[in-house]
Amino acid sequence: MKKRDFTRLFDRKKSHLDSRIKRDYVKNGVATIFCQISDYHDVITAYSVKNHETVNLDFIEYVRGAAAVIPEECPLVLNIIENFLSKEEQETIRQVIRDDFAYDFGMAEQEENRQWHIFIFMVIGMIIAGILLLLTETLDEVPREIFFILFWFVGDRLFEYIFLTGHELRQEKRLAGRLASIKVIFSKTYEEPNYTEQELDKLYTEIAQTGREIP
């Protein structure tokens, strides 16, 4: 039996992510996420009570998953395809989606601020540990080892924040902000989006206004 090198074959595989994103989502610089539903509770969790609704977690994950791969410069439009919702239900869905994503944005912002404060604390701690190392050159080896370990521990945390955690937090906050500014529309059937210049201007104005209103 002929031996085949599948590892090398897979190494040569190339991604077509950019072309698929353009095909599936982006038209005229606007990213439209389509979602077909068959019931009101596909969007609003069935455990909600009136005036205290929340978005279904599966729905959130679907929208977040699509938005995460879309270029950041593209404004987001969520097109919900249905033919049974009342105007009141449509407005409830719009408001709850906006409120839930705005809440997520606030949580992402708080976490970024918390990590930033930890970063500042670590910088101060590293400076203090470095000064103590310089001032304790005459001490025995054991006390100096403690300061040395502290210095490298803080340095490791700083490196992790600068190159890993900080970048991930900024990305998460930016995605949360984009989702909090998403425009929700409803359609009876699927239609390929084709935004005119006038519609684009209106869309950008509405999304910019929504972004300013994020609590």
Q: Calculate the alpha carbon distances from 47 to 17, 41, 62, 177, 182 in Å.
A: 37, 9, 19, 26, 24
**Vertex 165 angle, CA 161 and 171, to 5°:** 130
What is the per-residue pLDDT for 106?
Answer: 92
181 or 157, which is more confident: 181
- The yes-or-no verdict on residue 82 having pLDDT over 60 is yes
- Report yes or no: 192 and 81 within 8 Å, Cβ to Cβ: no
CB atoms within 10 A of CB 75: 21
Q: Which candidate, 181, 32, 22, places its Cα nearest to that of 98?
A: 181
Helices (H), the chain: 6-11, 17-24, 57-69, 87-135, 141-160, 166-180, 197-212
What would the mean pLDDT of 35-57 be, rounded to a whole number?
94
- What is the mean predicted confidence (pLDDT) over 172-179? 92
Residues 119-134 have a mean pLDDT of: 81
| pTM attached to this predicted model | 0.77
Reply yes or no on whether the pLDDT at 205 is more than 90: no
Q: Which residues contact 172 (CB under 8 A, 6 or more apart)?
A: 108, 111, 112
Tell me which H or E stretch contains 2. none
Mean pLDDT of all residues in 77-81: 95
Give the model's confidence band at 180: pLDDT under 50 very low, under 70 low, under 90 confident, else very high. Answer: very high
Q: What is the pLDDT of residue 143?
A: 64
Confidence tier at 7 by pLDDT (50, 70, 90): confident
- CA-nearest of 32, 13, 24, 12 to 195 is 32
Spatial contact of 195 and 30, defined as CB atoms under 8 Å apart: yes
Q: Which pLDDT value is given to residue 197?
A: 84
